[in-house]
Structure 1
Amino acid sequence: MNEEAYNTYAVIIAVENYQFGIKKVDYAKNDAQAFQQWLINNLKIPQENVKLWLDVDATKSALTEELRFEISRLNENDKFIFYYAGHGFFDGGHNKITTWDTHPYNIQETTVSLNQILMGPLRNSICNKSLIFIDACASRIEEQLTSREIIFDMNPSEFTEFVQSNNYRAMFLSCSRGEKSYSSPTLKHGIWTHFLIKALSGEACEAIDRGRFITSTSLQNYLSRAVPDFIKSSTEIRGTQKPWAEVSSSGTFVICEIPGADDENNIIDFILIPERLIIDVDHDLIWAPLRGLKNDGRSYPMYDYEGLEEIDVEAYCIRISKVKDEIRNLLEKILDFLLNYDWEEEVLFESNDDKLNITAFLNEDGENIIISLGISLKISGLHPMGDIIFDSEFNTEKTELKIFTDHCDYILDEDEIYNIFADCWDGIKKFFYLKKNFEKNY
């Protein structure tokens, strides 16, 4: 690899057609070539720094030997970008991807482990900046496939471990565990990759942060909405596809900068950085001591605040009762919707104000209705959609509630969060309990 000003290198892999008759992945080559053009035209990466392996070039030996060799040549100041479109799966404790010469009668032995060919070598390299984009899905490879399929669900824990091993790494996947990654004959692309490139190219204003930057957070927030919305409004697809991401624990960082922004319109006076989050149940209060920094004229100090002057600011505060009331209000809207409308696809609900953002997805798993709801507090101003506090999933068939803090932006106890907020679902729990008993009796 030649030393260039940008020090960015990329490997792009797409397997659309397979040597031994595995079902093709529609538009995978279009996706890979479009991603290559974004790297060269938008990021201005020299063409010789971008490796493109399509179909017959993407053999098991190429991924096993050549990819590891490319990674071994990275330097400390380099950035590495990896993109893959094709089939993938989870087997033997590792996430795997297929190659051109993967054989349908010996899937496990003729595929490659992402940990062995990609994440392990990156962990062992001195390169500390990497972005990984994978357009593959998490369900079985079957004889009659209509999407990018997988044998077993890809396991996100392996990706999480990789990302957290460095403070500048991010992994973006086209769908969540157990879902399919769909393509569109209208777009001539995988749906996720189409919107990924649209965002990275600056063609989606919703993905641009502070009028100029595509960040790890703004990109995932955009993809998590754009992909399901397109599937719902512009396709006949019945399934759901919610993009998934895991970002380094150091928080939001800039992926790329969109040229042509008016810097004067984006200058802010100061920024706020939360030191920690405190939940005080006795005083009905969630608060965060804030560190305030006065801007010295920089257009985007939230991404480069080294040396800024400290100033006194008030702490962020919000009532626990307010958060709980807003959750109940949104759940009541969902209940009203269920009572009044027939629906077949995923439905989005949202409540948003200057301190709080609640997003809920309503979807069906067979005959079972699942309500997925997440809470974000607008504490620091660094995240456009707010700082994540917890996610939840309510199973209407079992009237069972689960609360997760895996992706929380702060260190919070999952059991404590459950004990505080579980009663918000009492009304909707009661409804489905009575409904189930009514159906049983009549």
Structure 2
Amino acid sequence: MAEKINENTYAVIIAVENYQFGIKKVDYAKNDANAFRQWLIENLKVSQDNIKLWIDADVTRSALTEELRYEISRLCESDQFIFYYAGHGFFDGGYNKITTWDTHPYNYKDTTVSLNQILMEPLRQSKCNKSLLFIDACASRIDEQLLSREFIADMNFSEFIDFVRSSNYRAMFLSCSRGEKSYSSSMLGHGIWTHFLLKALKGEAPEAIEQERFITSTSLQNYLSKVVPDFIKFSTDIRETQKPWAEVSSSNTFIIYEIPTGSTANNTVIDYIFIPERLIIDFGNDLIMAPLKGLENDGRSYPMYDFEGLEEVDVEAFCIRISKVKSEIKNLLEEIIDFLMEYEWKEEVIFEKSDDKLLVSAILYEDVEAETITLSLSLYLHISGLHPMGDTIFYSEFNAEEDELNFSTDDSAFILDADEFKIIFSDCWDEIRRYFIIEKEIEEEMLVGLDEDDE
């Protein structure tokens, strides 16, 4: 029997990772948005037609002031509305604001948008009285030489409280408290708050589950309030505080997600934890190796964020063949070619291959207005026993219009040479680059033929 699609839930997901006018990027905002979308589809069973995903250049000031208002105005009393935002946020002129792709650092007052004006006031005026708002606002990442520390530091929570209390079914979840900053993690490949938010919403965190079945507004916030500060304290070099904040409607707690009967949470207790000390590329012997530090677990749940006091044990190094990694990357890129030959598409499409050693993730994006196609691909190795995502190795991006292929290791947990990885793995891209070049040649020949017919 087919699973029932949730037709009465509508969502708008927004992520601004890269900015048009030089504002510092928000690391992993795209990953966060795409993962949140997958939760809506796979767990909450929201129809893909009911989800709007706006990333980077889609997130213009006009899109938020006009299109978002329009989406909200269409909601009915029986609908549930979910909003997610990852990007820079701050407080100014009495209002909480978020940035857009075209926010200008020298004119932020006129090129940012007020959350109250674009989101909360339209919701108050709509028929909908069931809404969940999730905001991972990384105010700390805006260049402090352009925007003063005082300007970006404090959000006004009274504005959020007034909104939530205007209905019997509303909740606002924010990644940090007033005066704090929101952080991301290269180890997780996500914003820290969003990573644990999704872990809870998927039913993978027993601490966030009530009566063995329900994720409620209260259980979610209690879990986030503990796990995020603990992860920052024990698993990062950050020496600041990030305490998630939430305001829930006055009708008390309500159910956000009900875990299906018979499903199991991915919260296994592992016997040993492995911590990679460095990464070794042995091209001559076709090997990627990582010497590991092993710790015997005392019953703590996976993924790990606190491993202090565990006893060290002897372990073998992590090893995976370069040829195996290349084979999986090629297989994934071939799947993308098959997809391009069979389907028409206009938005981002996600592809993924994973096993007990590696995770290859790719996102295909078409910018209709600019007539460009971009394909980004990331490689993660499951080296450590600390987290499920894996250790980031490299990120690559191919611009089909310009035939440009770039490799980056900036987000890797290791000190790596991007040029070395380009030498090793660039041949994986040959077939898909050839496909785009042939497509371009065919299009040019068709245009020439049309011109000749007109003559």
Query: What TM-score comes out, normalization by structure 2 length?
Result: 0.55
Deviations 1:73-92 (A, max 9, x none): 00000000000000011111
Offset of residue 143 of structure 1: 4.0
Once the two structures are TM-superposed, the CA of residue 243 in structure 1 deviates from its matched residue by 0.1
Give 1:304's aligned residue: none
Change (3 A) 1:150 1:182: farther
Indicate the residue corresponding to 2:230 in structure 1.
Answer: 229
Residue 150 of structure 1: how far off its partner (Å): 6.7
Q: How does 1:277-292 map to 2 (within 5 A)?
A: none
State whether residues 8 and 81 of structure 1, in contact with CA within 8 Å, keep that contact through their aligned partners in structure 2: yes
1:323-342 matched pairs, under 5 angstroms: none
Please state if 1:185 is matched with 2:171.
Answer: no
Distance in 1 of aligned mates of 2:65 and 2:127: 20
Could you give the per-residue CA deviations for residues 304-351 of structure 1, whole angstroms, max 9, x where no partner exists?
xxxxxxxxxxxxxxxxxxxxxxxxxxxxxxxxxxxxxxxxxxxxxxxx
Q: Provide the secondary structure at the position in 1 that maps to 2:90.
A: strand
Other structure's SS at 2:197 match: helix
Q: Cα distance 1:32–1:92, how it changes in 2: closer, same or farther (>3 A)?
A: same
| Cα distance in 1, alignment partners of residues 34 and 84 from structure 2 | 11
8 Å contact from structure 2 (residues 69, 122) kept in 1: yes
Q: Is the 8 A contact 2:10 2:82 kept in 1?
A: yes
| Alignment-derived partner of residue 36 in structure 1 | 37
Partner of 1:194 in structure 2? 195
Equivalents in 2 of 1:139, 1:32: separation in Å?
Answer: 19
Give ranges in structure 2 of 5+ residues lacking alignment: 264-455
The answer to whether the Cα contact below 8 Å between 1:139 and 1:153 also exists between their aligned partners in 2 is no
1:127 aligns with 2:128: yes
> Alpha-carbon deviation of 1:259?
1.1
Please give the residue correspondences for 1:31-110 in structure 2 after superposition, counting only pairs within 5 Å.
Answer: 31-110=32-111
Q: Distance in 2 between matches of 1:126 and 1:11?
A: 17
- Aligned residue in 1 for 2:211: 210
Aligned to 2:160: 159
Query: Equivalent residue for 1:111?
Result: 112
- 1:5, distance to aligned residue in structure 2 (A): 4.9
Q: Given the superposition, is the C-alpha separation of residues 150 and 48 from structure 1 closer, same or farther in structure 2, using an over 3 Å criterion?
A: farther
Q: C-alpha distance in 1, partners of 2:169/2:6?
A: 19
Secondary structure, counterpart of 1:256 in structure 2: strand
Counterpart secondary structure, 1:241 = coil
- Contact 2:140-2:182 at 8 Å conserved across structures: no
Q: Distance in 2 between matches of 1:139 and 1:162?
A: 25
User: RMSD between aligned alpha carbons?
Assistant: 1.9
The residue type equivalent to 1:166 in the other structure is S
- C-alpha distance in 1 between matches for 2:150 and 2:183: 9
Query: Mind listing any 5+ residue stretches in structure 1 that lack a counterpart?
Result: 263-442
Q: Deviations over 1:107-160 (max 9, x none)?
A: 111000000100000000010100000001455833479xx9972411100000
Q: 2:360 matched to which residue of 1?
A: none
2:295 is matched with none
Name the SS for the 1:108 alignment partner.
Answer: helix
The residue that corresponds to 1:16 in the other structure is 17
CA contact under 8 A between 1:16 and 1:27: conserved in structure 2? yes
* Residues 258 and 208 of structure 1, relative CA distance in 2, 3 Å threshold: same
Q: How many residues align?
A: 257
Q: Distance in 1 between matches of 2:125 and 2:132?
A: 16
Residues 26 and 141 in structure 2, CA contact (< 8 A), matched pair in contact too: no
> Is the 8 Å Cα contact of residues 137 and 150 (structure 1) preserved in structure 2?
no
TM-score (norm 1): 0.56
One-letter identity of the residue aligned with 1:97 = I
**Hey, what's the Cα distance between the residues in 2 that align with 1:41 and 1:207?**
19
Partner Cα separation in structure 1 for residue 154 and residue 7 of structure 2: 36
Counterpart-to-counterpart distance in 1, 2:76 and 2:51: 16
Question: Shift of residue 6 of structure 1?
Answer: 3.5
Q: CA deviation at 1:49?
A: 0.3
Matches within 5 A, 1:234-245: 234-245=235-246
| Shift of residue 93, structure 1, vs aligned partner | 1.1
2:135 partner amino acid: I
Q: Provide the residue aligned with 2:331 in structure 1.
A: none
Maintained 8 Å contact 1:87/1:150: no
| SS of residue in 1 equivalent to 2:225 | helix
Provide the rounded CA distance (Å) in 2 between the counterparts of 1:42 and 1:53.
21
Give CA deviations for 1:152-201 in whole Å, capped at 9, x if unaligned. 41110000000000010000000000101000000000000000000000
